[in-house]
Structure 1
Amino acid sequence: MKWFIPREHGAWAMLIVPYLIGMLATEVTLVHWFFFIGVLAFYFASAPLLTFVRQPKLLKTAVPSLFVYVLIGTIFTFPVLYLIPEIILISLFILPFFILNIVFAKLKKERLFINDLCAIIALSFLVVISYYIGSGTIEAITFILMTINIMFFTASVFHVKTLIRENGNKKFLMNSNVFHGFTVLIFVLLGMPMIALIFLISSLKAWMMPKQKRYKPVQIGLIEIANSVIFVVGIGIIF
């Protein structure tokens, strides 16, 4: 049986980071970890599902691992959904973005920036879910954290694309530099200097990495993982 383990470093971070920052901003509980195992299993299930969407002839290859992942996800998430049914309502906001991801996969246009943005927004709702599990409520700070997460990963996508698919595209590079600058400036203007500092660290990475050099995907992935760790630690300390 083929397991279809997701290999994208960015997607792993987009899944783990929002859940962690929502959790760290509240009281960490065993329910958080129990539910996260289920979320992780469903994320794994997306790999065989999208493989089937792209190549329907691989149905028999994709179904076994899809079934196992969905079963594990169900075992770990359904008890939590029974205890905290409000999570189901929050999850409904994720569905339209997930459907768009499937449509882009079917059209074989998964590399489009808009597809990445849909995935970022969808997974950023994990901030809200994780925060709700820990606090039993949704507050203004929940959406602030969610927005910060969206901005962080949007900047990351801009940066990674300047090094790979959009390498040499001066207009895209300019947009990336401007967006990174915006992430710093907006939090300075909002009177949140520590958040601005976190984004400045991320922006310096994007601005100073030579764009003429060809990087291996694993090199870019490791740098982004390190950047994500700095982000989570910083947000955890601040909030």
Structure 2
Amino acid sequence: MSRSRGPGWVPNQHGAWAMLASPLAVGILAGGPAWVHLPLTAFWFVGYFAFFATSLWLKAGRRARYRPPVRTYGVAALVLGVITVVAQPGLLVWAPLFLLPLGVGLAAAAARRERELLSGLATVVGSGLMTVVAYAAGPGTDLTRAWLLALVQFLYFAGTVYYVKSAIRERGNDRFRRLSGAAHAGATLVVLTFSPWLAVVFVLLTVRAVAVPPLGASPKQLGIGEIVATTVVALVSLLTV
């Protein structure tokens, strides 16, 4: 998309792609693939485009030049959502669970506080929920496992909210870095209760959360590290949970 078309057409939050892809992929792989995953995947990604465009529009004070992508992606997401529900009506039961994180995210954008912790963690909740939805859309029947996998996704990505913030916007803030380390350590203890192997991964993530921010890594280096970490967490959770 060219800049002449106006803002909001292409999301610029690069870290969001992992939060979109990983929970969806984990849910599909754990529960087994089904045809309904095709429209569900399209709805999930286009829905994010609509959320991003709407957030930008709200942040900009609802200015008219920000409105076209909101309308376009909003209508596309609605159509894809209807197709998904028609293909598998039972998935509609999960929709209310997304209302709170969606509302928090949009309210934060309207207040220009979208980069605060509460907004980031609300986004992570919505992301993690997709693990259960994608699982339920397939032939899998063990929802307890689906919720545990969703919990892993939430704990991991919640940790990245702290970690990335401590390495960029809060770089040099030792108090926030310690808070990030404590959040990672807490997540490790939770994971230890159901997957010792995954707990080992979270121990390494805790060490990273404490040791890496003072090194002054670039956003590109942090991004590459996140790709690797996201992949490892997803694979180990699928194999051990």
- Fold conserved (TM > 0.5)? yes
Which residue number corresponds to residue 179 of structure 1?
A: 183
1:191–1:136 CA distance, 2 compared to 1 (3 A): closer
**Unpaired stretches in structure 1, ≥5 consecutive residues:** none
Q: Is the 8 A contact 1:51 1:62 kept in 2?
A: yes
Which structure 2 residues correspond to residues 208-219 of structure 1 after superposition, within 5 A? 208-209=211-212, 211-219=213-221
Specify which of 232, 235, 238 is matched with residue 233 of structure 1: 235
What CA distance in whole angstroms lies between the structure 1 residues aligned with 2:204 and 2:38? 29
Which residue number corresponds to residue 197 of structure 1?
A: 200
Q: Is the 8 A contact 2:132 2:143 kept in 1?
A: no
Q: Is the 8 A contact 2:152 2:191 kept in 1?
A: no
What CA distance in whole angstroms lies between the structure 2 residues aligned with 1:186 and 1:31? 32
Which residue number corresponds to residue 131 of structure 2?
A: 127
Deviations 1:154-199 (A, max 9, x none): 11111111111222222221121122222223333x2521221232
Shift of 1:237: 2.8
What CA distance in whole angstroms lies between the structure 1 residues aligned with 2:93 and 2:233? 28
Deviations 1:70-125 (A, max 9, x none): 33323433222123223222111111221111111111111111111111112211
What CA distance in whole angstroms lies between the structure 2 residues aligned with 1:176 and 1:99? 25
TM-score w.r.t. length of structure 1: 0.89
Q: Is the 8 A contact 1:26 1:134 kept in 2?
A: yes
Deviations 1:191-230 (A, max 9, x none): 5212212323322332332x33333323222221221122
What CA distance in whole angstroms lies between the structure 1 residues aligned with 2:89 and 2:190? 36
Which residue number corresponds to residue 107 of structure 1?
A: 111
**Unpaired stretches in structure 2, ≥5 consecutive residues:** none
Q: Is the 8 A contact 1:28 1:134 kept in 2?
A: yes
1:187–1:160 CA distance, 2 compared to 1 (3 A): same
Q: Are 1:164 and 2:168 counterparts?
A: yes
Q: Is the 8 A contact 1:41 1:69 kept in 2?
A: yes
Which structure 2 residues correspond to residues 1-239 of structure 1 after superposition, within 5 A? 1-2=5-6, 4-56=9-61, 58-59=63-64, 61-135=65-139, 137=141, 139-188=143-192, 190-209=193-212, 211-239=213-241
What CA distance in whole angstroms lies between the structure 2 residues aligned with 1:89 and 1:42? 17
What CA distance in whole angstroms lies between the structure 1 residues aligned with 2:76 and 2:239? 33
Shift of 1:138: 6.3
Q: Is the 8 A contact 2:189 2:199 kept in 1?
A: yes
What CA distance in whole angstroms lies between the structure 2 residues aligned with 1:92 and 1:109? 24
Measured on the aligned residues, the alpha-carbon RMSD in Å equals 2.0
What CA distance in whole angstroms lies between the structure 2 residues aligned with 1:128 and 1:184? 21
What CA distance in whole angstroms lies between the structure 1 residues aligned with 2:60 and 2:142? 40
What CA distance in whole angstroms lies between the structure 1 residues aligned with 2:109 and 2:102? 11
Number of aligned positions between the proteins: 236
1:187–1:7 CA distance, 2 compared to 1 (3 A): same
Identity among equivalent pairs (%)? 22
Q: Is the 8 A contact 2:91 2:133 kept in 1?
A: yes
TM-score w.r.t. length of structure 2: 0.88
Q: Is the 8 A contact 1:34 1:76 kept in 2?
A: yes
Q: Is the 8 A contact 1:100 1:118 kept in 2?
A: yes
